[in-house]
Amino acid sequence: MAEDRFPGWHGTTILAVRRGGEVVVAGDGQVSLGQTVIKGTARKVRRLSPGGFDVVAGFAGSTADAFTLLERLEAKLEATPGQLARASVELAKDWRTDKYLQKLEAMLIVSDGKDIFVITGAGDVLEPEHGVAAIGSGGNFALAAARALMDSDRDAEDIARAAMAIAADICVYTNGNLTVEKIGG
């Protein structure tokens, strides 16, 4: 986020784990301003059902910006039902080229239960190599923990919950109030 407009705002860890034919997207509930926790129960993971096809999305960054992007993603999915990759690329193209959207400060993780994509304002639509993706202040901690746990016999939800607990123990901008959505399987 732009430090000049929102100095000291930090928030969120979003993690997606694919295993055993299902994807779990987990997000913590913390929003911080400097050294102060503003809210500990924010809900940053949502289920969308445009065109009758379920998609789970998690966001990091400005909430209003993220909701704008989620609305745009829903519109893209309604235009291309069941085609998450195509809708994600179309959203990223718009985000990169539209002067209004370029100012939005958020990132998304989206999944339809088969694919996981990280969508950024730089025009990126990234698919993780190891079935794990993470964004936000504690994203790297959650990503490292989840990648290590992928060698265990745990299911996707157990991996996501354990990795988020590790991230919450390390990152001061991440808490243990989780929103967890499963898709696929």
If you write DSSP's letter for every residue of 134-171 in order, what string do you get?
EEETTHHHHHHHHHHHTTSS--HHHHHHHHHHHHHHH-
Look-up of token digits 């999944």: 111
**Residue 12 falls in the annotated catalytic set:** yes
Structure tokens at 125: 């639509």
Residue 49 near residue 55 (C-beta atoms within 8 A): yes
Q: What is the dihedral of CA 11, 17, 22, 28, to 10 degrees?
A: -20
The residues facing 184 across adjacent strands are: 22
Task: Judge whether 135 and 105 are in contact, CB under 8 Å.
Answer: no
The active-site residue, picked from 12, 13, 80, 174, is 12
Cα(150)–Cα(38) distance, integer angstroms: 33
Q: Hey, which residues are catalytic here? A: 12
